[in-house]
Structure 1
Amino acid sequence: MQQKLTKAFVEKIGFEQSGQIFYRDSELKGFGLRVGRTAKVYFAEAKLDGKTVRKSIARHNVMTIDEARNEARKILTEISTGKNPFDVERARKAIKVTVQEVLNEYISSRVNLKTSTIQDYRNTFKTYLGDWLNKTLRDISKDMVEMRFRKIGENSPAQANKVMRNFRAVYNYAMIKYEDSNGDSIFKTNPVNRISQLRMWYRVNRRVTYIKPYNLAPWYEAVMNLSNDLIAPNRETIRDYLLFVLFTGLRRREATALTWNRVDFKDRTFTVIETKNHTDHTLPLTDFLYDMLAVRKANAVNQYVFPNEFGTGMLNEPKKQIQRVVQESGVSFSLHDLRRTFITIAESLDISAYALKRLLNHKMTNDVTAGYIITDVERLRTPMQKITDFILIQVGQKQSASVTPLQRIA
C-alpha cells in the first residue's frame, strides 16, 4: 500500500488482528513500514540481481521516522552499488566472532564426537592456543600460525602437527559456517594452509616401542608391588588397570571407560562401546582376567571397573604410578606400548590375521574375504588364552608345557 509515511500516520494506524500489512512510502521509494499484530517495523527494500532484498531497520518506538528514513537511504545506496545488506551484517558478525566461540560451535555441530575427543580439543586449545581464545578468528594471521607451529615444534613436533590440524579443522568449519548470500565464505583462506604450502609439517615416525619378552618379568614384578596406602589409596586399581591393558590390548580410554554393566561374568566376556572406529568391541575373559575382575567387582565403588581415587568417576591416566613402575623395573613404557606388546605377542604366536584384527577391533573394509567371515567371540577365546599364557609364562606365573625327550633307540 502506497502511503506518505509521517509520524502522525505511523502513530495513528493500529496493529493487525492477524498477519501483517506493508505500507510503502510515496516519497522515498524503497522505504516502508511493516505492521503486524504486536509491532510496527521500518524497512528498506530494493531489487538486487532480480531478487527483492528487504532489510528491517527498527521498531517505530525505537527510532524516529526521520532517523529510519535516513537509515533506509544508506541501505538503498548499498543495494544500488550491488552490496547485499545481509552480507554486510554477516561480515560484521564474523569479524567479531572469537576463536573460543568458533571452537564451541564446532564441537556442538559435531554430534558424533566422543567425550574424550571433545576434551582433547578443549585441552589442546587451552594449553597451546590459550592466548588466542579471546581473539577474533579474523585476527589469527598466517604469520601467527607459523610462529606458534615452530614454537610448539621445538619441544614436540608431533604435538605441533596435532595442534595445527585441530585448529585447521575448526577454521575450516568457520569457512563453511560464515557465508554471504551467494554462498561464498566470509573467511577466504585458512591460515594453516601456509604450513602445507611451505611443506613445514613435521615428519613424525610412528612409535614402534613395546615391552620385550625378557622385560615382562621385571615389569610385572614392579606392577604387582603397587599397593594401597594412606598416600596413594588407589594403587591397586592402577595395578589391575595396567595388567588389564596388557592382557587385552585395549586402548587407554577404552579400558578406563569400561563399566560393570558391560562385563558379563556368566558368558565370561566384556564389551567396550566407546571405540576408535565406533564399533562395539566384545572380547572373552581368560581365567586370569575373570579372577581379577571378580575381585574388583566384589569391591566396586561405582559404575566403572577402574574408578578414580575419589570414587566419583573413571580412572585418570596414572602418570605418577607409571613412572614409579618405570623406575623400579628399569623398563620404560607408555600405556600404548602395552597395546603394542599385546599385538607383538599375538603376531609371534601365529594367530590368524582375521582373529588378530578382531582382537584389536581393526576394521577390515579393504579385505573382500573378511566380509564373508563372521568371527564369533567364542572363536577368539583360544587365541586370547594363548596370549595370556605366553605373558604368564614370561613373568613366571605359569609353567610352559614340559617336553619329554625321546629315548634313543639302540
Structure 2
Amino acid sequence: MPRQRLTLPRIAAFKPKSEGFLWDEDAPQLAVRVRASGSKSFIFQSGLGYRDIRITIGSVDAWTIEAAREEARRYQRMIDEGKDPRDVLRQEVEARKVDEAARQAAADIEKEELRRQAVTVGEAWAAYVAARSHKWGDSHKRDHEKAILPGGERITRGRKKGQGEYSLPGMVHSLLLEPLKDLTPERVTIWMQENNARGATEAAKNFRLLRAFLNWCAERPEYVGVVRPDACTTSEVKDHVKAVKAKGDSLQREQLALWFEHVRQLGNPVHAAYLQAALLTGARREELTGLRWEDVDFQWKSLTIRDKVEGQRVIPLTPYVAALLAALPRRTVIRDGEKISLPWVFSSPSAASGRLQEPLKPHKNAMAAAGLPPFSLHDLRRSFGTLAEWVECPVGVVAQIQGHKPSALAEKHYRRRPLDLLRMWHVKIEAWILEQAGIQQPGEDQAPGLRVVG
C-alpha cells in the first residue's frame, strides 16, 4: 500500500482481510500492523547491516500516534549509531530491573529500620528470656517472670503487713510497651525513683535484671543502634540503686539447742525433717524440696542433689539426716481414679505438685516460738558453711557439699574429693552441730530412733 499519514480515522478504517500493514508517511519506519484476529499495533521496521529488524512498539489503544512516531525515530537513531535497538531495549529492561531491585532494597532497609526503631522493651525482653533462660536456675527464671507480671491478682496467701488486697505490677512491667530506643539514662533514673518508693532492695534487684537485659541487647545485631548501652551505667542512675550488702545472718552455736527444740516440735513431720535437713546439708531450698526417693541411697549413704551449677552433685547421707528421711512417709494419692505413688521425699498430698511448696512459714512459726530472729531458709544454708568452721573443715569440702563453684585455680582443676572423704568431714560437721543442740548422733548401724541427750 502507498504510505499515508497515520490518523485515527485511517487506522480505524484499515481492515484488511488478512494480516496487513499501514505505513506512515511522516515516519517511514513506522507502520500499523493488523493481524488476522483484528488486533492492531504500532511496529518499527528497519535494517542494520544485512539484518532486518522489526520491533513491536505497542497497541494502538495504548500508544498515541505521535508517541509511536517518536519511539520509531528513537529506534532509528540507535541504528544510525550502529546499535541494535533490540539489544538496547534488553539492556534498558535489565537496568530497570536493577533500579527496581535497588529501590525495593532501599525500601526494605527503611522498613526494617523503622521496625527496629519501633521495637518495644517487651518484644526484646521476650527474645532475651527465650535466648538466655536455658542457662538460668529456677529462682532466676521466676525473678524475670515476676518482673513483668501485670499485677491486679487477689493475694490469697503470704500477704504482708500493710500490703494491699491485690498484687502490684512487676517493676519492669511499666517499661514493656515503651520503645527500646527510649530507654535512656534519664528514663531509667525516673523508673528507679518510682520503684524505690515501693522498695529499694527489690528495685535494686530489678535494676540488675534490666542492666543484664540491656547488655545482652547491646551485643545483638538486631538491636545495635537502637538500645542505649549506657542506660544503666551513668552516675545519675547508679545514685538511685541501693548498694548490695553481704548478708551475714546465720545461726550461732548458742542458738542451736533452741532452734532444734522448736523445729522438732512442729506438728508436721515433713516440715520438721525438711528444716533440719536444710541446716545439716547446706542445700538450697529448691534442691531439697525437689529431692526424690530415687535420689536417696540408704545402702551406700549418699544423696543425689539436682543443682543449678553442675546439674547434679552427690553428697554424703549423714546418720542423723538418714534417720530423718527414713522416718518420713512414702505417700500415695488417688488421681483420676488411679493410685499414684508420690516420688518426693518431702511430699505434700494437698499440693498440686505433690511436694512441699512453702517451708518458710513453719520455720517462721518455730522461730517466733523460740524467740529467735526470723532466719530465712537461705540463712540455714549460710549457717552450715559458718558452723563447719568449728571443726576446721577445709573450705573446699564445704563448697563441694553445698554445690558452690570452685573459687580458686587449684580447687577448679585439681581438687575433686571422693564421696568417702566428703563423708568423713560431713559426719564430723553434723556430729558437732548435734552436740551443741544436745542431740546424740546415731551410729552408722543404728536404727532411726533418736533420743535427746542431757
TM-score, length-scaled by structure 1 = 0.70
1:237 is matched with: 270
Cα-to-partner distance string for 1:208-257 (whole Å, 9 max, x where unaligned): 11111221222222212221xxxxxxx43222211111010112222222
Larger Rg: 2
Correspondent of 1:113 among 136, 144, 149: 136
1:305 is matched with: 345
Residues 196 and 271 (structure 1), Cα distance of their counterparts in 2 relative to 1, 3 Å cut:
farther
Matched letter for residue 267 of structure 1: W
1:191 is matched with: 231
Question: Are the equivalent residues in 1 in contact too, given 2:189–2:236 (CA < 8 A)?
Answer: no
Matched letter for residue 284 of structure 1: P
2:315 aligned with 1:259: no
2:120 is matched with: 98
Question: Are the equivalent residues in 2 in contact too, given 1:269–1:282 (CA < 8 A)?
Answer: yes
Cα-to-partner distance string for 1:350-395 (whole Å, 9 max, x where unaligned): 1123322322233335233763333101111121111211222222
Question: Are the equivalent residues in 1 in contact too, given 2:180–2:226 (CA < 8 A)?
Answer: no
Matches within 5 A, 1:217-236: 217-227=257-267, 235-236=268-269
Aligned to 1:271, what secondary structure does the other structure show?
Answer: strand
Residues 369 and 103 (structure 1), Cα distance of their counterparts in 2 relative to 1, 3 Å cut:
closer
Correspondent of 1:380 among 422, 428, 435: 422
Residues 215 and 266 (structure 1), Cα distance of their counterparts in 2 relative to 1, 3 Å cut:
same
Q: Aligned equivalents of 1:147 and 1:160: distance in 2?
A: 12
Matches within 5 A, 1:4-403: 26=92, 29-31=95-97, 44-46=100-102, 55=105, 84-110=106-132, 111-126=134-149, 127-154=170-197, 156-179=199-222, 184-194=224-234, 199-227=239-267, 235-275=268-308, 277-296=309-328, 298-299=330-331, 302-308=342-348, 309-332=350-373, 333-364=375-406, 366-368=408-410, 371-398=413-440
- When structure 1 is superposed on structure 2, of 107-116 and 135-144 the one drifting more is 135-144
Matched letter for residue 274 of structure 1: D
Residues 87 and 236 (structure 1), Cα distance of their counterparts in 2 relative to 1, 3 Å cut:
farther
Tell me how many residue pairs correspond in the alignment. Answer: 329
User: What percent of counterpart residues are identical?
Assistant: 24
Aligned to 1:45, what secondary structure does the other structure show?
Answer: helix
Aligned to 1:44, what secondary structure does the other structure show?
Answer: helix
Q: Aligned equivalents of 1:304 and 1:271: distance in 2?
A: 13
TM-score, length-scaled by structure 2 = 0.64
Structure 1, unaligned runs of 5 or more? 9-22, 33-42, 47-52, 56-83, 228-234, 401-410
Question: Are the equivalent residues in 1 in contact too, given 2:121–2:178 (CA < 8 A)?
Answer: yes
Aligned to 1:274, what secondary structure does the other structure show?
Answer: coil
Q: Aligned equivalents of 1:201 and 1:87: distance in 2?
A: 39
Residues 350 and 365 (structure 1), Cα distance of their counterparts in 2 relative to 1, 3 Å cut:
closer
Cα-to-partner distance string for 1:94-139 (whole Å, 9 max, x where unaligned): 2333333222211111232333322221113332122223333334
Residues 239 and 97 (structure 1), Cα distance of their counterparts in 2 relative to 1, 3 Å cut:
farther
Aligned to 2:100, what secondary structure does the other structure show?
Answer: strand
Structure 2, unaligned runs of 5 or more? 1-55, 62-88, 150-169, 333-340, 443-454
Q: Aligned equivalents of 1:362 and 1:95: distance in 2?
A: 42
1:75 is matched with: none
Q: Aligned equivalents of 1:369 and 1:287: distance in 2?
A: 27
Aligned to 1:312, what secondary structure does the other structure show?
Answer: coil
Residues 398 and 155 (structure 1), Cα distance of their counterparts in 2 relative to 1, 3 Å cut:
farther
Aligned to 1:368, what secondary structure does the other structure show?
Answer: helix
Question: Are the equivalent residues in 2 in contact too, given 1:98–1:134 (CA < 8 A)?
Answer: yes
